[in-house]
Amino acid sequence: MDALKQEYARILQGLRIDKFNLDEDKYSGVFLPEPFDEYWAAKTKVMLVGREAGGWYTDTKPPKHTIKRAAGLGGFPVSEVVDESLGRYRSLFEVKGGKVADTSRSRFMQYYSLLARELGLAPRELIYTSLLAWDYDKRDPSNRPSTEYQEVVSVSQQLLAAQIRQFSPDFIVFATGKLKAACWVIRHLFDDHLGGYQLAKESLVRGNHWEYEVRGYRREFEAAGATCYHISHPRAGSWHAQLDPVVSQIKAKVASRV
């Protein structure tokens, strides 16, 4: 995936570091995924998208993964930052005893493993990423100054758009919850970078269709050659109820294509 690595590096090199207060740089390392060979061989390609990086590469001592370093200003080339993040992603799916270890305290990773099992796929046949490529002090960065946050959103959208183009998923599940900020980022991801989106007829309700529950999950839409779903984040108490209809819809659509 040399082309993907080059695209990651190009986007990170465009990071406008002057938008950040580097005296308060508590950003995580940048979250960058890369598919396994199993993903490319899978008949159904599924991408799961979480909300933010969630402490990605934060716990090194001393902390070295900062927004400044992601821009190539920490004494390391951006290419090395990209390689480190990809290595970290691959380490989450190491094969142990012939199987991928799928036990985790992370609710999101538990959801990922359950989604794979329900779809009859191995963990390495899916891929997951984040709507925002960084967190701030292990939290949502939306409370940072607007100049910082908007730059995080802008670069994250570029990274995610590059991933969607490179990975060509059949289905994308945005498990980001009902935050208005998440809705805005998703809408503009497709409008600004991927040629727009088309909502399913069932989602065209009550005017502002991005704010209402539809058929047990938040909404369904078509974009970038994929069928997309926007549902609760796995930390929410309702995510179990929203998993079944999404899995059922994916299975039905796969069956209809056979």
- pLDDT tens track, the chain, 258 positions: 689 999 999 999 999 999 999 999 999 989 999 999 999 999 999 999 998 877 777 665 555 678 999 998 878 899 999 999 999 899 888 866 555 655 556 778 888 888 999 999 999 999 999 999 999 998 889 999 999 999 999 999 999 999 999 999 999 999 887 666 788 899 899 999 999 998 876 554 444 444 444 444 457 889 999 999 888 766 655 556 667 788 888 999 998 876
CA R_g for the chain: 18
What pLDDT sits at residue 86?
94
What pLDDT sits at residue 124?
93
d(CA 238, CA 253): 24
Strands 46-50 and 127-130: parallel
Strand order of the β-sheet with 226-231 is 127-130, 46-50, 171-175, 226-231, 219-223, 198-199
The length of the chain in residues reads 258
Q: Which domains does the chain have, with CATH numbers?
A: 2-29+45-94+103-253 (3.40.470)
What pLDDT sits at residue 232?
75
> Token pair 């190539």 is at which residue?
72
Q: CB neighbours (10 Å) of residue 202?
A: 11
d(CA 71, CA 79): 10
d(CA 193, CA 219): 20
d(CA 197, CA 164): 14
State whether the Cα torsion 183-184-185-188 is positive or negative. Answer: positive
Crossing angle of the two packed helices 78-91 and 2-13, in degrees rounded to 10: 120
Q: CB neighbours (10 Å) of residue 66?
A: 21
Residues facing residue 95 across a β-bridge: 100
What pLDDT sits at residue 213?
43
What pLDDT sits at residue 55?
73
Exposure string of 101-124, with b = 16+ CB inside 10 Å and e = fewer, is: ebeeeeebbebbbbbbeebebbbb
pTM: 0.90
What pLDDT sits at residue 218?
59
> Token pair 């308060």 is at which residue?
24
